[in-house]
Amino acid sequence: MTPPSPFGLIAALRERGHSVTLDGPGFIIDPAPPADLETAVAMLQTGIRACITGRPWLGLSSDTGHAEAIDVHRAAPSWCSLLAVEGDKQWDRIHPRHDELFRHAEHPKRYRRATAEAWK
């Protein structure tokens, strides 16, 4: 499975007849997301909000402290352990069990997050 991007996830929802609309600081998916996309929607909700608000999506490594804007058209990099939308008051921690939602690319500083297997 190719890891989903927030932009691609919204497109997949819309192709299946779901609307994705802004609702205050969050968003509404109507009707509720299908079972096969529920985990991706829950884990990538910050990226979905970044897409529909037009604000930058941010990733942070809790191991190195490295943070940068990340592309909503690509899956989150594997070094991200926290995600947010610019202006959020807090970061969302990403559980390593959902490793399939991330692309495995080298961190700019040659850092690579441990795989989900290492956390079991």
pLDDT at 19: 95
pLDDT at 77 over 80: yes
Residue 30 placed within a domain: yes
Query: Distances from the Cα of 31 to the Cαs of 13, 22, 28, 65, in angstroms?
Result: 10, 14, 9, 38
According to the model, what pLDDT value does residue 98 have?
65
Tell me, yes or no, whether 51 lies in a domain.
yes
Is 1 within a domain?
no
Residue 15 backbone dihedrals phi, psi, to 5 degrees: -60, -30
* Structural domain contains residue 58: yes
Domain that holds residue 14: 6-119
pLDDT tens digits along 23-76: 988 899 999 999 999 888 988 899 999 999 999 999 999 889 999 999 999 988
How many domains does the chain fold into? 1
Asked if residue 62 is part of any domain, the answer here is: yes
Q: What is the pLDDT of residue 79?
A: 86
93-115, pLDDT tens digit by residue?
886 666 667 665 444 443 333 43
Residue 43, domain member (yes or no): yes
